[in-house]
Structure 1
Amino acid sequence: MSEDQENNNQEPIEEHTNQEVITRITGMYKDWFLDYASYVILERAVPAIEDGFKPVHRRIMQSMKDLDDGRYNKVANIVGHTMQYHPHGDASIGDAMVQVGQKELLIDTQGNWGNILTGDRAAAPRYIEARLSKFALEVVYSPKVTEWQASYDGRKKEPINLPVKFPLLLAQGAEGIAVGLSTKILPHNFNELIDASIKHLQGKRFKLVPDFATAGIMDASNYNDGLRGGKIRVRAKISQQDKNTLVITEIPFSTTTSSLIDSVIKANEKGKIKVKHIEDNTAENVEIVIHLPNNISPDKTIDALYAFTNCEISISPLSCVIIDHKPHFIGVSEILRLSTDHTVKLLKSELEIKLDELQEQWHFSSLERIFIEKRIYRDIEEEETWEGVIKAIDEGLKPHITHLKRAVTEEDITRLTEIRIKRISKFDLDKAQQKIEALEDEIAQVKHHLEHLIEFAIAYFEKLKKDYGQGRERKTEIRLFEDIEATKVVIRNTKLYVNRKEGFIGTALKKDEYVTDCSDIDDIICFMQDGTMTVTKVDTKTFVGKNIIHVAVFKKKDKRTIYNLIYRDGSKGNTYIKRFAVTSITRDREYSIGKGEKGTKVFYFSANPNGEAEKVTVYLRQIGSIKKLKFEVDFADQLIKGRGAKGNIVSKHPVKKVELKEEGVSTLKPRKIWFDDVVQRLNVDGRGDLLGEFKGEDRILLVTQDGIVKTIIPELTTRFDENYVLMEKWNPKQPISAVYWEGERERYYVKRFLVEHPDKEEVIITDHPKSQLELITTDSIPVLEIVYRKQRNKEQKPNEEVNLEEFISVKGIKAQGNQLTTEKVTQLNLLEPIIPEVADPEEEEEESHNEETTSTSEEKEHNNSSEENKNSESQGSLFD
């Protein structure tokens, strides 16, 4: 037995210590594992930087080239041929070939190759066919610059790497799991890769983001160039068909319609969303129809689908490739640079080979011309030996070869002797000279390309884009996503109950007091009569503290819910009043809403969703010489401060009770609302265009390019998928002026109207397919400029300005309007509006005084009436 064999069969060595046994692996355990790991990394899982192929794909492509005759081949036949190169089973080869075929770049397919949208598998290899695409034939193969190696059994020659002249790895993407590492390179857009290659060759900067065949919407702001730590978010494209129907027309990468529908069904079963039923109408294109129950918000449901289902997924790329037989982690930008530089190197090699071939053709054509024109072939008639023939031709050529680029070899002379008599007899000197001149032009052109290699490479990429880029436009829409808070969009799928006296809350306390609907991911805020507060997660039964006075679903960062409080600080302290909001808090931690003194007691508490400030009556205990035992307090006089503020003193004397005297109105400023065009959402954070300051009932006016007018309440969850030509705060008394093209009469019409039904969508143009909205404005007195078209043989009509307020009065929203002009119009422009005249200030003051007088008398009557009502009926919250 040899020494190597002995080492390979060596048993593991065990070393015993006091506490543990250390086993050292040697011999075959060590070597075989390293060999296996190296094999998996280099030969199976990770693609090479040179051509972007894993070995199985490279061998499939070489087999298809071997079999290529322009016609389709059975995939089973290709798989069988590939097994001459690839030492694995036919199933793995077939699956790998289907993956390449589904990317529709290198292989022309015929038959059922599966569906990446539905996840349906391809038919068996014996039923489907394939051939190389024109793109593959042009880009992937170049035998003269290919390096070859022996196949696994030594019977065939296979390419070490295919000479791919395109960033194929980034176009197709790659995914694989090896031993100790993995790779996940996402696919990118064909045309964008070519543009990036050109920019790299021009020395310009470029940026690459993925593009998926399944389309969808993508946020690639954290892509990190495809390196470890990066992440992209991909969403399905969901549109609202009507108030009870949503339609999904594009799905995220790596999902299928089946897996997406399953995730929606599971979310519905868990109560995260509410869905009536789902229809999968997917055929050539994705169409998943989701029917919603009545009274379910489509906007919130779309957000919930993104939050709780596969309608939104996160993908973490990990760019790893083989460079010089070692795995390297490099970004997609660096992969593109290396690929482009490799393409330039290949183009240079091809040009150099072509130049050598052209020079050889020119050399022999020149020799042939001399040989025949100078009748040197006659010099060999007297020669009897081969050596004599070679020498006679060589001597005959010497006077005429001074212009040749290289010396004449014996091989050249041998080729001359092989020219047939028929060719010599039909030799045309002019045609021979034309051929030589054509070769000289080609040689000059190739030399020019070599001298301007970068320009040649750029032209090569531009030609690829022109020939193959059509129909390969970006499919995945790039957009920044807003963060969806799950608690804001989850369906309230359970009920919350409270046992105030014992201090328990939960969803299982069905015999106790019902509080509100909630979801199983909500947080609940609780206030107790002893002045403590806590926030806890929804559960079946949770103890929060005895004598609960308020329970509600907690909204994080909610600055508009204001808590009004009157409490006694400690058992004998002063009574304070305060107003505060709770925006953030540590869950399950007890907080004091006073100063934490023992014996603290809450006399009055109210939670106000819009910052309302009521009036209350405070009753004092009759102790000592107190004269005023009853007085009013207005919460509107108190500033809103932090939760930890002590508040202002109401009384230093003991308080008996506090009662509500009068409901309050909001003391908060109107909310400023902005529209962020990037994420197509409303916000209160100052991002985008300011729409205005909104109070409770204020609405937003929306007009689409199709002439649809509607108003909506500005909820931050509203989605704006349509292209609105007008979006602003709605003034119900402000007329809207519109100019539209009437398709049937082929004339411009003007109309002025008010929105009569705020909750209803109205169409303000006619239903003719060619009718379209031209201009719309909410200016008080808009001015329109008409630019007329010049008529043949007529004088140019000057531009005309039209005061739309004078042109047409305000009519119903369904009115057709007035015809603007019968002349041909080139352009319509809105000019600066006319500012309405302001009334005389003295008249306004007198009018205002009269109104105030009337109002004051009315208020007195109302107040008297209110006092009578309040005396007869007690209102408020009292905690003794």
Structure 2
Amino acid sequence: METKQENIVRTDYSEIMQKSYIDYAMSVIISRALPDVRDGLKPVQRRTLYDMYELGIRYDRPYRKCARIVGDTMGKYHPHGDSSIYEALVVMAQEFKKGKTLVDGHGNFGSIEGDGAAAMRYTEARLEKLTQEVFLEDLDKNVVDFVPNFDETEKEPSVLPVKIPNLLVNGAEGIAVGMATSIPPHNLGEVIDAVKAYMKDNQISVRGLMRYIKGPDFPTGGIVVNKDDLCKIYETGTGKLRIRGRVTTKKLKGGKKQLVITEIPYTMLGANIGKFLNDVASLVETKKTTDIVDISNQSSKEGIRIVLELKKDTDVENLTNMLYKKTRLEDTFGVNILAVADGRPETLSLKQVIEHHVDFLFEVTTRKYKTLLGRELEKQEVQEGLIKACDVIDLIIEILRGSKNREQVKKCLVEGNTEGIRFKTKTSEKAAKKLQFTEKQATAILDMRLYKLIGLEIEALQAEYEQTMNNIALYKDILDHYDSMAEVIIKELDAIKKEYSTKRRTSVENAEEAVYEEKKMEETEVCFLMDRFGYMKLIDKNAYERNKEAACSENRYVFTCMNTDKICLFTDSGKLHTIKAVDIPLVRFRDKGTPADNLSNYDSAAEQILYVASVSQIKNDTLLFVTKTSMCKLVEGREFDVAKRTIASTKLAPGDELIFVGSAGEMEQVVLQSAGGSFLRFLKQEVSTMKKTSIGVRGMRLAEGDHLEHAYLLGGHQEYTITFRDRPYVLNKVRLAKRDTKGVRPRV
């Protein structure tokens, strides 16, 4: 018995990974994430629209359940899960996302404020008239290639014969592998005008095309404020648009004003509307502005309407500029015109997009008229046969009556074969032998009904023949001459523009950078309180004076500072967290404070606060840092006046942690206490003043396995008593020694 030989192919692992990853990446790029430049559709969109067309869900027919459409599309063409298909269907039906909706949705298809669509079992849909007439027409005329579906049981179009540059009209968004596309929507009428201009002069520049396409036209309206950058964006295919919402001022009785936002930037769609409202509320809460009295979102199906109630003497222009600067009322839209062109991803300029589409239009139109010409030539052949048959109808009837079967008649009509046919006269037989109809003509004659021999029917046949000949001449002219074909395409584009174009919604202009003057905060002295649980608050200084004793007994840190100051939190992990005093709520004395976690990057679960002070307190002071492994250093307080919310206050060796941070400015001595009960007292001058980025110098020489537990700062004549082993112990009695020596164990 023969043993089967195995061929082991040795390949470098990285080579296999590279090939597999590139194959995967290209599959995602071409088959899922990026639109085709010709029809501006991703595969999932194309397949969904074609499936609706095949199911007969036309614009003039009843709606059908979306679940039916999704299931059919997934089963026949797109085996990638129902959620992606339904999501694509929903987006094509949302007028606030698309320049032109391609699907007519019935039911809850989501809202501009980010509400999701209802489940597909509840919603219904059908094709829009535009989709049917501009995207799917002529599919029966062999205008595009059909390819096998995933299991080769069906055929699907490789591209739809779209008559407009849908990539520009509806835009596109998609994230592939290593690349992403982001194309803004444009105005249909302007895009058609640009296509016509290119067809008349294919040497036209991008700037020339921009005489027709003013810029993006977002369904949410708004204002594009960097008009001068558009030319470069359209020339390179990449860049950033700056979009603002549309704001109007309304004067009310009593001198009050309202700021009404009626259009929003396209990037604010969905949940970002809620974020904008929260951002405005935050500006009010943090007192960045005191001009806004109330915010209300009055948006509905009719459109966006966000109303800000203002105080009487509000500087509206300054407030509007503040909203542009501090919220998403002004935002950027990143443009990257990336699409699949000639089977590969390519970043395209405006002119290249139109160029690719016009080439596609001519290809589709050529294939359409070749198919129509073929059909007309077939009709011509049949009609000529029928006209010729009418002239010799008596002979044909005689052949029919004298024949035994259909094949005998057909042979006689095509080849003049009279064998087996009985004729009344030799003349008839002689005439029959001269007949030379084609196969198609003979079949048409045999299928012809007797009523066609009526005089009026014969005249109608003659008229049809003349019409066929005119059509053949017309189609040949279109196929043979560029100008004739261009005229046909332009005529179709004009008809589409007339029926479907709408007014531009987005304004395009040059606007200056939004500049606003921040109102200077009135500087006042307040009192900072922080309890042992890490809750902090500010109270009025007068309230503190009235409750001084309670404030000091109930809180771990109590000090006065200005409301313009910053609070510094030093933690055992060696971090410094800063909080602006203005961000800490100013409350009544008995009100609960806010956790430090909520106001800074401090994490109470991972670190402990060792020392709290204001920047103004430590700016002219010196701080002592002591670590668990007995590293010490002095750092000038001005090093901690920083802009960042969190920095490293000191450098720690691996496994080390801070045990003490304190103000050393007026102190003279340092006392270190170890976990083993050793104490070391030495002069502060022995500790070097260093930068915050240094580790420090050794304080006490520790026994093996021992570590520092506490550190204390002593004044010159101050007596400092602690509890050690349940007894009072005066630190001043510890023998004064040198730094970097062993400590002493007290007799208690």
TM-score category, normalised to shorter length:
0.5 to 0.7
> 1:290 — aligned with what?
308
Q: Aligned to 2:497, which of 451, 462, 465?
A: 465
The residue type paired with residue 173 of structure 1 is G
How far apart are 1:6 and its partner, in Å?
A: 5.9
> 2:608 — aligned with what?
none
179-188 or 355-364, larger mean C-alpha shift: 355-364
On the 8 A contact 1:505/1:544 being kept in 2, the answer is: no
Distance 1:382 1:313 in 2: 88
Distance 1:444 1:194 in 2: 29
> 1:196 — aligned with what?
194
C-alpha spacing 1:422/1:210, structure 2 compared with 1 (3 Å): same
C-alpha spacing 1:4/1:194, structure 2 compared with 1 (3 Å): farther
C-alpha spacing 1:442/1:509, structure 2 compared with 1 (3 Å): closer
Distance 1:197 1:261 in 2: 41
> 1:441 — aligned with what?
470
488-497 or 337-346, larger mean C-alpha shift: 488-497
The residue type paired with residue 298 of structure 2 is N
> 2:690 — aligned with what?
none
> 2:144 — aligned with what?
146
Distance 2:399 2:34 in 1: 65
On the 8 A contact 2:144/2:159 being kept in 1, the answer is: yes
On the 8 A contact 1:191/1:465 being kept in 2, the answer is: yes
Q: Aligned to 1:164, which of 157, 162, 165?
A: 162
Q: How do residues 291-310 of structure 1 correspond to structure 2 at under 5 angstroms? A: 291-310=309-328
> 2:658 — aligned with what?
none
* Partner SS for 2:448: coil
C-alpha spacing 1:437/1:279, structure 2 compared with 1 (3 Å): same
Q: Aligned to 2:48, which of 60, 76, 82?
A: 60
Deviations 1:240-276 (A, max 9, x none): 1134321111100021332322332234344443432
How far apart are 1:493 and its partner, in Å?
A: 4.5
Q: How do residues 32-111 of structure 1 correspond to structure 2 at under 5 angstroms? A: 32-69=20-57, 70-83=61-74, 84-102=76-94, 103=98, 104-111=100-107
On the 8 A contact 1:303/1:489 being kept in 2, the answer is: no
RMSD of the alignment, in Å?
3.4
C-alpha spacing 1:387/1:253, structure 2 compared with 1 (3 Å): same
On the 8 A contact 2:238/2:337 being kept in 1, the answer is: no
Aligned length: 492
On the 8 A contact 1:185/1:319 being kept in 2, the answer is: yes
Structure (1/2) with the larger strand percentage: 1
The residue type paired with residue 87 of structure 2 is D
Distance 1:5 1:184 in 2: 46
How far apart are 1:347 and its partner, in Å?
A: 1.9
How far apart are 1:201 and its partner, in Å?
A: 1.1
On the 8 A contact 1:492/1:519 being kept in 2, the answer is: no
Distance 1:359 1:270 in 2: 80
Q: Aligned pair 1:258/2:266, yes or no?
A: no
How far apart are 1:33 and its partner, in Å?
A: 1.7
> 2:518 — aligned with what?
490
Distance 1:390 1:239 in 2: 82
On the 8 A contact 2:51/2:69 being kept in 1, the answer is: yes
How far apart are 1:50 and its partner, in Å?
A: 1.8
Instruction: Structure 1: state its 5+ residue gaps.
Output: 14-23, 401-406, 498-503, 511-517, 521-538, 547-586, 589-880
> 1:222 — aligned with what?
229
> 2:564 — aligned with what?
507
Distance 2:92 2:124 in 1: 13
The residue type paired with residue 206 of structure 1 is L
C-alpha spacing 1:366/1:215, structure 2 compared with 1 (3 Å): same
Distance 1:49 1:60 in 2: 18
How far apart are 1:296 and its partner, in Å?
A: 3.3
Deviations 1:496-547 (A, max 9, x none): 89xxxxxx9992299xxxxxxx999xxxxxxxxxxxxxxxxxx95499999x
On the 8 A contact 1:151/1:157 being kept in 2, the answer is: yes
The residue type paired with residue 105 of structure 1 is T
Q: How do residues 354-393 of structure 1 correspond to structure 2 at under 5 angstroms? A: 354-375=372-393, 376-377=395-396, 378-384=398-404, 388-393=408-413
> 2:594 — aligned with what?
none
The residue type paired with residue 249 of structure 2 is Q
Distance 1:266 1:228 in 2: 37
> 2:248 — aligned with what?
239
C-alpha spacing 1:229/1:65, structure 2 compared with 1 (3 Å): closer
How far apart are 1:179 and its partner, in Å?
A: 0.9
Distance 1:107 1:295 in 2: 49
On the 8 A contact 2:30/2:343 being kept in 1, the answer is: yes
How far apart are 1:188 and its partner, in Å?
A: 0.7
> 2:604 — aligned with what?
none
Q: How do residues 318-717 of structure 1 correspond to structure 2 at under 5 angstroms? A: 318-375=336-393, 376-377=395-396, 378-384=398-404, 388-394=408-414, 409-424=438-453, 428-450=457-479, 451=481, 452-469=484-501, 472-485=502-515, 488-493=516-521, 495=523, 507-508=564-565, 541=616
Distance 1:44 1:395 in 2: 57
Q: Which has the higher contact order (CA 8 A, sep 6+)?
A: 2
On the 8 A contact 1:508/1:540 being kept in 2, the answer is: yes
Deviations 1:36-58 (A, max 9, x none): 11111111111111211111001
* Partner SS for 1:276: strand
How far apart are 1:357 and its partner, in Å?
A: 1.5
C-alpha spacing 1:192/1:5, structure 2 compared with 1 (3 Å): farther
On the 8 A contact 1:234/1:252 being kept in 2, the answer is: yes
* Partner SS for 2:229: coil
* Partner SS for 2:158: strand
How far apart are 1:344 and its partner, in Å?
A: 2.6
Deviations 1:660-688 (A, max 9, x none): xxxxxxxxxxxxxxxxxxxxxxxxxxxxx
How far apart are 1:491 and its partner, in Å?
A: 4.0
The residue type paired with residue 210 of structure 1 is P
How far apart are 1:337 and its partner, in Å?
A: 2.2
Instruction: Structure 2: state its 5+ residue gaps.
Output: 418-429, 526-560, 568-580, 584-613, 622-641, 644-748
The residue type paired with residue 179 of structure 2 is L
Q: Aligned to 2:209, which of 202, 206, 217?
A: 206
Distance 1:416 1:235 in 2: 71
> 2:530 — aligned with what?
none
Q: Aligned pair 1:181/2:179, yes or no?
A: yes
C-alpha spacing 1:348/1:326, structure 2 compared with 1 (3 Å): same
C-alpha spacing 1:337/1:2, structure 2 compared with 1 (3 Å): farther
On the 8 A contact 1:63/1:78 being kept in 2, the answer is: yes
C-alpha spacing 1:137/1:32, structure 2 compared with 1 (3 Å): same
Distance 1:480 1:254 in 2: 19
Distance 2:178 2:36 in 1: 18
C-alpha spacing 1:127/1:326, structure 2 compared with 1 (3 Å): same
How far apart are 1:107 and its partner, in Å?
A: 1.6
When normalised by structure 1's length, the TM-score is 0.52
The residue type paired with residue 465 of structure 2 is I
On the 8 A contact 2:106/2:124 being kept in 1, the answer is: yes
The residue type paired with residue 157 of structure 1 is K
Q: Aligned pair 1:278/2:307, yes or no?
A: no
How far apart are 1:421 and its partner, in Å?
A: 3.9
Distance 1:455 1:4 in 2: 63
On the 8 A contact 1:107/1:132 being kept in 2, the answer is: yes
How far apart are 1:129 and its partner, in Å?
A: 1.5
C-alpha spacing 1:229/1:431, structure 2 compared with 1 (3 Å): closer
On the 8 A contact 2:452/2:458 being kept in 1, the answer is: no
On the 8 A contact 2:267/2:333 being kept in 1, the answer is: no
Distance 1:370 1:105 in 2: 53
Distance 1:505 1:444 in 2: 91
On the 8 A contact 1:225/1:333 being kept in 2, the answer is: no
Distance 1:169 1:267 in 2: 39
How far apart are 1:388 and its partner, in Å?
A: 4.2
